[in-house]
Chains A and B, each alone.
Chain A
């Protein structure tokens, strides 16, 4: 399909109109068409490529840190080098424990990336299921789900997370993920519900139903593909928020704990020394911000590419 679309001029409104016609004819081209159009739009955006490059580097760093550093986390530390600034051979200097800071920062990528992606995927699944049920069936089910969403939406993030994490003192990556999912699924659920409601009365859905399609088929084949794009965008933008939130909890001391190595923990330690040893603050802050920034730029680019009104 990509090859077929690639041969056509990308200007003007023609592709959209053509796809609308395809969709009205009842074909499944539309979902592919939307994403293919978006892809063609994306590959022309330099910011998209910049963020992809950063995220690929960070992902590789979190999966195979051995490519970037020969040492493991908290290895080869010597208190004699505590807080010593950058020098040749140790470009990032040393942390408070006298560990090579570059090594520590490289190993700090994993918790952020794992938590950011895992939480977003799980929360997205929860949101798609609850939002679809709520929007499609309406009635009392909708009311119940809406109220439960309100309850969790009203919980203040830092305080809610702190209470949970103190109540369950196992601060592993799994516990962090759980907390962030519990506090992070509401917005996407609301967006999904709104989308399903907007789509479920469309003519092609009525047509499918008239042709005898059952609830499940209508939902998965007709409503879901047409409703999911905005939720997907919110999810992508959310990865950055999750990573920043995780780092905030680490920084407050209620998140991941030593000996886990994470950017948030490094910033937590840096707070007492950053006036005299700014490198302790700068390096993890730059890595963390760059990752969050890349996810936001990626989400922005995908949203713009998917939203024909802005083109």
Chain B
């Protein structure tokens, strides 16, 4: 088990370096001089220009810049923006908003998605099943920004029951509508996945055995079938949490939430390299760690998977 965790953590290192380097190189390639951009195109004394370039190591080659950046990261230093603000401080404000949004969306996926999937899977072929299937297909097909605007228009402005912009009312009220919009795609996907998986497992031999033993249907479904059916769902829910954090940029834009997505989106356009790299690094790290946790959870849900190799080789 620990061998497996150690091996997975080691595998994360090259992926982490590769991804951050890729982003770093791309940001490096952004056209325009960020220092010149600071002054709004007005002439700047050469001495000031040079001092700033030295401060941000802008004259070093790409690899040296990246190595310096990585070194800073190891000591917990995310660097500072070209206006001298600490990237970590800036990010932490946005992160709180984005994390709340992503968690809200994730809870919708988990609770609503699994419930709808179970309902449909247990009623396969009936009206309820068809309704869930049709509804989820529609949600998957309509792009998230269209869902967002429609929801804002109908629920927010026409009915006036939920706030449509900003975070003035705090969690959860301000986050219900954006969370539902952000989680809509995943919710539909989770429902379909649960349905298919449940329907498949209900035909498995061990379920027939459980029924033959005379177990009540409730126990057969909850204890035997659902537990096995949830393995692919857990995988998806785990991976999707990273997607929710990263995909929040669109939802944050629609609902005007001051989250990390908004920050990084404007940072890309104002060529604030350190901010872009900082946020992306954080996102990638979260994504990789969540994936690791999901893989470890497998063993809890499915004892057959005990981290292939660890038992044999250890």
Q: A84 at interface (Cβ–Cβ under 8 A)?
A: no
Residue interface mask B242-261, A partner, CB < 8 A = 1:
11011101100100000001
Are A159 and B283 interface neighbours, CB within 8 A?
yes
**A residues less than 8 Å from B229 (CB atoms):** none
Taking CB atoms and an 8 Å cut-off, the chain B residues in 235-286 that contact chain A are 242-243, 245-247, 249-250, 253, 261, 264-265, 268-269, 276, 279-280, 283-284
Q: Which of B25-33, B75-83, B102-110 contacts A (4 or more CB under 8 A)?
A: B25-33
Q: Chain A 117-155 against B: per-residue CB contact (8 Å), 1 yes, 0 no?
A: 000000000000000000000000000000110110011
Least Cβ–Cβ distance between B22 and chain A, in angstroms: 7
Nearest to B144 among chain A residues (CB) is A248
A168 to B31, CA, bound (A): 8
Contacts of A271 in B (CB 8 A): 145, 149
Q: Would you call B247 and A158 a contact (CB within 8 A)?
A: yes
Question: Looking at the complex, which of B12-20, B35-43, B306-314 is the stretch in contact with chain A?
Answer: B12-20
B26–A167 contact, CB under 8 A? yes
User: Does B141 lie at the interface of the complex (its beta carbon under 8 Å from any beta carbon of A)?
Assistant: yes
Contact of A154 among B15, B31, B279 (CB under 8 A): B15
Closest to A165 in B: B268
Bits for A159-201, please: 1 = Cβ < 8 Å to B, else 0.
1101110111100000000000000000000000000000000
Interface residues of B in 176-231 (CB under 8 A from A): 200
B287 at the interface (CB under 8 A from A): yes
Docked complex: B142-191 residues within 8 A CB-CB of A: 142-146, 149-150, 153, 157
Is B15 in contact with A281, judged by CB distance below 8 angstroms?
no
| CB <8 Å contact, B142 and A289 | yes
The answer to whether residues A158 and B140 also contact, given A148-B18, A169-B31 and a CB cut-off of 8 A, is: no
Against B, the Cβ 8 Å flags (1 = close, 0 = not) of A281-311 are: 1000100111011001100100000000100
B15 near A297: Cβ-Cβ < 8 Å: no
- A292 and B149: CB pair below 8 A? no
Q: Are B26 and A274 in contact (CB under 8 A)?
A: no
Choice from A157, A267, A275, A300 contacting B153 with Cβ under 8 Å: A275
Closest to B30 in A: A167
Which residues of the partner chain A approach B242 to less than 8 Å between Cβ atoms?
A: 156
Q: Which residues of B contact A154 (CB under 8 A)?
A: 15, 19, 284, 287-288
Please judge, given known A-B contacts A248-B143, A252-B253, A252-B265, whether A147 and B18 are in contact too, CB under 8 Å. Answer: yes
**Measured CA separation A84–B288 after assembly (Å):** 50
Closest residue of chain B to A151 (Cβ to Cβ) is B18
Measured between alpha carbons, how far is A150 from B11 in the docked complex, in Å?
Answer: 10
Cα distance, A199 to B264, chains bound together (Å): 44
Asked if B137 CB lies within 8 Å of chain A CBs, one says: yes
* In-complex Cβ contact of A158 among B146, B149, B249, B287 (8 A): B249
A244 interface hit (Cβ, 8 Å)? yes
Q: Are A267 and B146 in contact (CB under 8 A)?
A: yes
In the complex, which residues of chain A have a beta carbon less than 8 angstroms from the beta carbon of B243?
Answer: 156
Please tell me which one of the listed residues A156, A169, A278, A296 contacts residue B137 in the complex, with CB atoms under 8 A apart.
Answer: A296
> Does B138 sit within 8 A of A, measured CB to CB?
yes
- Taking a contact as CB atoms under 8 Å apart, the answer to whether B18 and A166 are in contact is no
The answer on a CB contact under 8 Å between B276 and A150 is no
A248 in contact with B30 given A148-B18, A155-B284 (CB within 8 Å): no
Q: Judging by beta carbons under 8 Å apart, are A296 and B268 in contact?
A: no
Question: Shortest Cβ distance from A237 into chain B, in angstroms?
Answer: 10
A151 touches B153 (CB 8 A): no
Residue B23 lies at the interface, judged by CB distance under 8 Å to chain A: yes
Q: Which residue of A lies closest to B276 (CB)?
A: A163
B140 and A155 contacting across the interface, CB-CB below 8 Å: no
A117 to chain B, nearest CB (A): 17
User: Do A156 and B26 have beta carbons less than 8 Å apart?
Assistant: no
Q: Which A residues are in CB contact (< 8 Å) with B150?
A: 281
**Docked pose: A274 CA to B151 CA in angstroms:** 12
Contacting residues, chain A, for B22 (C-beta < 8 A): 151, 155
Q: Which residue of B lies closest to A309 (CB)?
A: B200
Please tell me if the beta carbons of A167 and B31 are within 8 angstroms of each other in the complex.
yes
- Do the beta carbons of B250 and A252 come within 8 Å of each other? yes
| CA gap between A262 and B23 in the complex, in Å | 28
Q: List chain A residues, Cβ under 8 A from B143.
A: 244, 247-248, 251, 285, 288-289, 292
For B283, the closest partner residue in chain A by CB is: A156
Judging by beta carbons under 8 Å apart, are A163 and B19 in contact?
no
Can you sample 26 A-B contacts with CB below 8 Å? A147-B11, A147-B18, A148-B18, A150-B18, A151-B14, A151-B19, A151-B22, A154-B15, A155-B23, A156-B287, A157-B247, A159-B249, A162-B268, A166-B30, A167-B30, A167-B31, A248-B250, A252-B249, A252-B265, A271-B145, A274-B149, A278-B153, A281-B149, A289-B141, A289-B143, A296-B137
Residues of A within 8 A of B (CB): 147-148, 150-151, 154-160, 162-164, 166-169, 240, 244, 247-248, 251-252, 267, 271, 274-275, 278, 281, 285, 288-290, 292-293, 296-297, 300, 309
Q: A147-B11, A162-B265 are in contact. List 17 more A-B contacts (CB 8 A).
A: A150-B11, A154-B15, A154-B288, A158-B246, A159-B265, A159-B276, A159-B283, A162-B268, A163-B26, A166-B30, A166-B269, A167-B27, A251-B143, A275-B157, A281-B150, A293-B137, A293-B141
